[in-house]
Each structure stands twice: as C-alpha cells, then as structure tokens.
Structure 1
C-alpha cells in the first residue's frame, strides 16, 4: 500500500484491520521485539492510566517486558472493536477504537481487564503501515475525578 487512498474507505479499513491482526498477535505471543517493530523508529506508546509514556522501539520493548513480567502464567488476548478510521494526510490515518484485554489462566478462568479507548496514528512507510503513536486510556478512570486520578 504505497499511499492511503482516502477515497477508498473499504480498502483502508481492510488494511488497518489486517495490520492490527498481525500486530496484536505479536503482542499476545510475547514477541515484544516483533510488536515494537510495527512502530516507527520514534514511535510513541502512551498509557494514560499508568502515566506511562515511552518513545522509540527500544523503550517500547523494555516497557512491554516489564508488563509481561507482571502477568506470567496467563494467556493474554487483546480485542479491538468499533474502529473509527479517519484520513489525516496522504499517508496517515487516525484510528480510534475500543479495546478489551482478557487473561486466561491455566484452570480456564478468564480475567477481564478494564476496557480502554485507544487512539492511534498510523503512517505508511515503504508500502507498510506502522504505528506512529498510540494513546491508551482506561474507561474506569473516566469515572474518577481528575483530582483523585493525580494522587
């Protein structure tokens, strides 16, 4: 996909869906290097709920390794839905979507993590999509007054 044709919404939607399917399988299989490689070299991943803002592939790898260390003994699955894809330039789209993460335990029990709103900026480089930035905000924190969130 050398350029995103903003008039061809169906193609853009299919390309973004395929990109996310490939990207999230890398994350769910704990291939943090492969996942980070789907970001631009200077890519940003911001978790508003953790006040975690990492920039660059190496920092993304480090952050994900720390997160995976906290979730050993489970199989994670990330579920993305309700994608709102908007053109933002010749080779750029913004994507806003809902995300749910499940953790499946060895006994079959499933833990649901708080749902999130995710905002991505995706760019085309050398015919491929990459994540330029990702911002993740947990829905449960929308219910907490901002003064309490800061503490």
Structure 2
C-alpha cells in the first residue's frame, strides 16, 4: 500500500495564509470591492466551474462583482438564480448578509514567491428575519503570489459540488 505524503509547511506560513484569507474575505462580505480586489494581482483570474464564468483582471472582476453583490440595506432581492441574474444583469445579494467559511486548507509552495492553496468553502446567506440559506459547497484552488512582501491572489478556481449550481435559486422564500 502506498502512502500519500502531503508536504508540510512551516506553522508561520500556514498562519500567514490563514491571516491573509481572514483579512481578504471580510472585504468581500462587506462589499468593499475595490479594497477586496487590491488583494488580487492586477492580472488575476477568477473562474467558476462547471458551467461557469472566467474573469480576467481587476477591472473585469470589479464590473462583474459590482453587478452581483447587491446592497445589504435594500429589501431582499426577488428569487433568482445566478445564471438568470447574469442574463438579466441584476444583483442577487440585496438585503442579505453573507459569509464565507473555509476548511481543510492545504498549502503547497510552488516557487520562491508562489503558493498553491486548496480548500473547501461554503457561503451562508442570512436575511433580515434571520433565515439562513447556503450556496452549494465548493472546492477552491488559489495561486497566491508574494509581491513586495505581501500575499496576493493571482488566480482562483472555484469548483461547485453541484453541476447545476448556477441554476440554484438564491433567496428562496
């Protein structure tokens, strides 16, 4: 029987990567998109699979995220799917507080200033009445790059556990 050996990283590096995400993701949750995107390299990519989308560069990401993230102070958006929201150019997070949850983080140094990070993620959405719903779970694969001593996301691939994730109804009543 062969044994799979996972490379070990220094505890300080593991903590640094966790701190990076602990600083990055609250910016997205708070819809501080310009600040969130400053944690990505200018030439970054973000891809959702299967049946998803690929965005390149901060400008394209800002345009897409601005159209979808909505306003937490507005009344809850009508029920819609991610696919329909893109087709009709509407936000689907209005009136919702959403949070990102990461687990089982595997960090593999790829080069002097590059890390490959793989983790499972889940997104929760809470409405004004306290009702919580979840998006389909995902596996995320990031490439982090150190620039001027700081970690930044160069690429992110989000693989949804359901092939029909884009047709899932957001904000079900």
Q: Normalised by the size of structure 1, how large is the TM-score?
A: 0.86
Partner residue in 1 for 2:56:
55
CA-CA distance at 1:7 after TM superposition: 7.6
CA-CA distance at 1:140 after TM superposition: 1.7
Which 5+ residue runs of structure 2 have no aligned equivalent? 1-6, 70-90, 165-173
The alignment partner of 1:35 has SS state of: helix
Partner residue in 2 for 1:117:
139
Which 5+ residue runs of structure 1 have no aligned equivalent? 1-5, 143-151
CA-CA distance at 1:127 after TM superposition: 0.5
Partner residue in 2 for 1:27:
28
The equivalences for 1:2-151 within 5 A come to 9-68=10-69, 69-141=91-163
Q: Deviations over 1:94-151 (max 9, x none)?
A: 0000000000000000011100000000000001000000000111229xxxxxxxxx
CA-CA distance at 1:50 after TM superposition: 4.6
Structure 2 CA distance for aligned equivalents of residues 82 and 96 of structure 1:
8
Q: Which has the larger radius of gyration?
A: 2
Distance 1:7 1:115, change over 3 A: closer
Which range moves more in the overlay, 96-105 or 45-54? 45-54
CA-CA distance at 1:71 after TM superposition: 1.0
Q: Deviations over 1:24-46 (max 9, x none)?
A: 00000001111111000101111
Runs of 4+ in 1 over 6 A off after TM superposition: none
Structure 1 CA distance for aligned equivalents of residues 131 and 29 of structure 2:
17
CA-CA distance at 1:70 after TM superposition: 1.4
